[in-house]
Amino acid sequence: MRSGTVAAAGLVIGFVLDRGLGDPRRGHPVAGFGTVAMDMEKVTYRDDRAAGVVHEVVLVGGVVAAGVAARRAIRGRSGAAARGFGEIALTAAATWTVLGGTTLARTGRAMADLLEAGDIAGARELLPSLCGRDPALLDADGLARAALESIAENTSDATVAPLFWGAVAGVPGLLGYRAVNTLDAMVGYRNERYGRFGWAAARTDDVANLGAARVAGLITTMLAPVAGGRPGNAWRAWRRDARKHPSPNAGVAEASMAGALGVQLGGRTEYRYGIEMRPTLGDGPAPRVADLRRAVRLSEAVQVASVLAATAVAFARRRPHFRDCLDAGSPEH
């Protein structure tokens, strides 16, 4: 069984598992990784970049090494069928573990339901599951905008990017990307504690998302009609506004989504650690609850298109042209 066929099948099955089941309710491996990272931070933390580099290398390197070891253990089995089906199962499990698109969409719809019902208190309570804004400072429109921006960014981070890395690097790519993205969410802040220690996590996440964010922007642009928008508007907002954003990747995701929906994102942004004045992205009015529902619909379409694209890339892999350097020494299929 070809490695490309195995990877493609595993990605599709893992995506279907995420669509049907969402995130595991208990014992989520990503939560377990977060606990390990917090415990390790107690040992590695210093207010300097070098300590942050050590923290990043040890944790991400350990996860990638675990992925390589698991894949090699399966490829060491006797029998081509056992190897093939074992690797499909491993890839599917890893894909399900690292994807978060279904939970993201469900949370976005739940937020829209609360806002439509006028339950501002409930919406404020739900917001931390989407982003790090300070919900106490936000009214209904502010909550809708915060949720929409989070959906735009996390459509890329929670689905497109993991699938991108799974297509090009298999299980180690899936797990390694999720470790990078999780550490960025934990320590990649520009505040007093993490400004230097979190530098490596933030920069590594930027690099890991460079390609995937642009794939997400391209797919969002093409699928703008799903949300009643126009690809031309999404493309113009991306090309004009994305570079204004402090993140080289979130700017692409948010600007293309803003253009696709015909709304304006950015502006005054309240975080728990302070207030930032973000550049505006897109043209049109501030987003409302109806726009949040449209964003969820577009996000789900982008997710489906992403798994189809990732499957095509994975299926096209042929040794030695797409040989993964991590496979060196492992048995052939």
Q: What residues form DSSP beta bridges with 271?
A: 133, 274
Residue 81 exposed, middle or buried by CB count within 10 Å (0-12, 13-18, 19+)? exposed
pLDDT of residue 173: 97
Q: What residues form DSSP beta bridges with 198?
A: none
Look up residue 301 and give its two tokens.
């379409």
pLDDT of residue 274: 62
134-158 pLDDT, tens per residue? Answer: 888 888 988 999 999 999 999 999 9
Q: How far apart are CA 41 and CA 61, in angstroms?
A: 15
Global pTM value: 0.89
3-state helix, strand, coil in the chain (%, to 5): 75, 5, 25
Q: How far is CA 88 from CA 85, 94, 194, 295, in A?
A: 5, 10, 39, 32
**Helix (H) / strand (E) containing 138:** none
Residue 315 has pLDDT above 60, yes or no: yes
pLDDT of residue 321: 44
Please report which confidence band the pLDDT of residue 268 belongs to, taking 50, 70 and 90 as the band edges: confident
Distance of CA 146 to the CA centre of its chain: 17
Instruction: Scan for tokens 């590695």, then name that residue.
Output: 44
Q: How far apart are CA 135 and CA 144, in angstroms?
A: 11
Residue 325 has pLDDT above 60, yes or no: no
Average pLDDT rounded to a whole number, residues 301-322: 83
